[in-house]
Amino acid sequence: MSTSSAQTKSTTAFLAQAVIAFGISFCAMGIGIARLPLDFWQRGFLLMSMLFLVSSCFTLAKVIRDQYESTKVYSRIDEARLEKLMAEHDPFKVVS
């Protein structure tokens, strides 16, 4: 009753697509802010907001990944305990 949990890895194409999409969207936002007909301080505010949004997105993604990985560890520990109990159990053993 051993179930091997295979690690799911992203393909190289998916990783490249994600990096390219991030780069394009980041550059497009920066160019859009630079070309807006605004004062310098207004552009600075939008730029700071964009940078804060990007950093908070990375932080959120990391927290979600860490929570998911911690639940996987707990389920693997529980699964190992159950397998050990089942391996040690003898249904034909007489209880006195």
Residue 2 included in any domain: no
Q: Which of 92, 90, 89, 69 is nearest to 81 (CA)?
A: 89
Q: What pLDDT, on the 0 to 100 scale, is given for residue 4?
A: 45
Give the structural domain span for 83.
Answer: 12-88
Residue 3 included in any domain: no
Does the model's pTM come out above 0.85?
no
Residue 94 included in any domain: no
- Of 12-16, 27-31, 45-49, 67-71, the poorest mean pLDDT is in 67-71
Per-residue HEC secondary structure of 17-42 comes to: HHHHHHHHHHHHHHHHHHHCCCCHHH
Q: How many domains does the chain have?
A: 1
Q: CA torsion, points 42, 47, 52, 58, in degrees to nearest 10?
A: 160
**Token pair recorded at residue 76:** 């693997």
Residue 29 — very low, low, confident or very high, per pLDDT cuts 50/70/90?
A: very high
The amino acid present at 41, given as its one-letter code, is W
Residue 96 included in any domain: no
Burial class (CB in 10 A: 0-12, 13-18, 19+), 28: exposed
Read off the pLDDT of residues 40-78 as tens digits, 9 standing for 90 and up.
999 999 999 999 999 999 999 999 888 888 777 677 777
Residue 78 included in any domain: yes
